Amino acid sequence: MEIIPAIDMIDGKCVRLSKGDYDTKKVYNENPVEVARMFEDNGIKRLHLVDLDGAKAGHIVNHATLRAITSATKLTVDFGGGLKTTADLNIAFDCGAQMVTGGSIAVKNPAEFESWITTYGPDRIILGADAKDRKVAVTGWIENTETELMDFVKKYHQKGIRKVICTDISRDGMLQGPAVELYSEMLQMLPDLWLVASGGVSSVDDLYQLQSKGVPAVIIGKAIYENKITLKQLSEFL
């Protein structure tokens, strides 16, 4: 199972939220490049970089930090947050992102998102499927929809998507364990999906539990910053 630490950015700083609520913002480090280097030094190969300012603004904002991280490390970075146009997408790729995640656009402008899949291919375009009570949420999780999560993922799988980051918003930042049964159900529905579990991971035991269900990859955020999972433990797991 691939381990993917997350760096969420507001004002160019490394922060974490609880359940996607911007009012719960906690700054962990004012230098995301320093954090990225620390991950790389401990054997990490991947990074999930989220532009929370961009998610709220509806366009890419923290692209300078993206460029700084990809210039300073060899991490494979997937970038999300505020990518609503092909121009935003090109900025992310030009700044060194190897993959981008689209969530809100996949709901609000499916034609544009489908054109990305066709143009850039399923290796570079990730579907962001973030849900609360199994309904998709968008715009930095501020806006809830009536779109059913499973139907949403299945629809884009049929359009060519193979990589999905699925966040159970009710668990994100709460350190109460991931939505193991949800991910197991999704993989039973689509066994060839490269599913990235996100939200709630609080211990190394959670990682083994996800691995036992065949989950291909997991994003870890607050558990690292709150020292619930140490970088030494991640190195040993890897």
The catalytic position among 53, 78, 130, 206 is 130
What is the DSSP pairing of strand 194-198 with strand 217-220? parallel
Give the Cα separation of 36 and 70 in Å (integer).
9
Dihedral, 100, 106, 112, 115 alpha carbons, nearest 10:
60
The catalytic position among 8, 78, 88, 168 is 8
- Is 53 assigned a catalytic role? no
Which amino acid is it at 204? Answer: V
Give the Cα separation of 34 and 7 in Å (integer).
11
- Is 8 assigned a catalytic role? yes
Backbone phi, psi, residue 199, to 5°:
110, 120
- Report, as residue numbers or ranges, the catalytic residues: 8, 130
